[in-house]
Amino acid sequence: MKTLKYLLCGITMCALACSSSKDDGDGPGKTSNTLKVMSFNVRYNSANDEGDTNWEVRKAAVVKMINTVQPDVVGLQEPRTAQRTYLKTNLPNYAYMEVPGTGDGKGGNTCLIYRQDRFTLVDNGYFFLSPTPDEPSRCWDVGDTQWRTSVWVHLKEKETGKEFWFLSTHMPVRTNSSFPNEPYIQARINSANLNIERMKKLAGDSGMCFIVGDMNCSEKAADGSVNADGVRALKPYRDWMTAGRDIAPAGDAYSFNNFGSGTAAPSRNLDHIFHRNAKMAISFRTLTDNYGVKYVSDHYPILLTALF
């Protein structure tokens, strides 16, 4: 009986995985029993990026990647005004959410897009990762003046009425090497706590929700040992949610590729997807395809597929 029980369980899991694959080719307006959730730091259009790393070289590949993968919702980090305009024009099936008054070097360049053929917008908003989150303000007591922000949506599937919440964020990085590191660590902890606090108010304990973004920290050090500071910064998420990367396949690439510069290491897993109340997380992948260019960004997109 025990053998039969495990066999039936295995067959059920296989059936779920197979049925979930049907959404890979879905056209506009079609529903699916899965939800594809992506986080992607697109790398801002820096004048210092030359050759293959320049936005003008990469931008068509970014659009190709999104059209190929067809994620349902994408948390974007770093896109400036010109990049947002290009993506809006070339991804007409996606609605765009951003923080008003952002799009330049001052920061707050956290955005998201979602499939408007599949979902209806119920509500949306944004806030600043700071002691005064409801007004433009810089990120706690750190050594730079850049705004850091989160933007969120509450979406409903048109055909079924299923709902979920999604938040895209970009936590602070240590940009000023002469400034002590501890305030940046604490700012990331504060940012994670604020994101969780807001999501709890939005989705409650029972709502399906996702928090994604460039968290600028990894739970592993370069040598693969535990990075205590990264664990501290991501703990608020893990205390209430589940990390998508926990089901990543062995050998999955690190999300920060630095345009091929330096040595790949576990400490480069800076991008994360956390989920709560998803029926089942089916797969987590770091997307390393180049889509016709050397790198689509200095970060690889990460993708979680979950039952919906």
* Percentages of the chain per state (helix, strand, coil), in multiples of 5: 30, 25, 40
How many alpha carbons lie under 13 Å from residue 16 in its C-beta half-sphere? 16
Residue 36 forms beta bridges with which residues? 305
Specify the pTM: 0.91
pLDDT score for 6: 36
Report yes or no: 16 and 280 within 8 Å, Cβ to Cβ: yes
Structure-token pair, residue 218: 């990894």
Over the stretch 196-233, which tens digit does the pLDDT of each residue have? Answer: 999 999 999 999 999 999 999 999 999 999 999 999 99
Cα–Cα distance for residue pair 236/233, rounded to 1 Å: 7
Give the domains, in start order, of the chain with CATH numbers.
Answer: 32-307 (3.60.10.10)
Cα–Cα distance for residue pair 28/138, rounded to 1 Å: 40
For the chain, what is the mean pLDDT?
91
Over the stretch 242-296, which tens digit does the pLDDT of each residue have? Answer: 999 999 999 999 999 999 999 999 999 999 999 999 999 999 999 999 999 999 9
Over the stretch 109-165, which tens digit does the pLDDT of each residue have? Answer: 999 999 999 999 999 999 999 999 999 999 998 988 899 999 999 999 999 999 999
Report yes or no: 52 and 294 within 8 Å, Cβ to Cβ: yes
3-class secondary-structure state, position 9: helix
Sheet of 281-286, strands arranged across: 94-97, 110-115, 73-77, 34-41, 302-307, 281-286
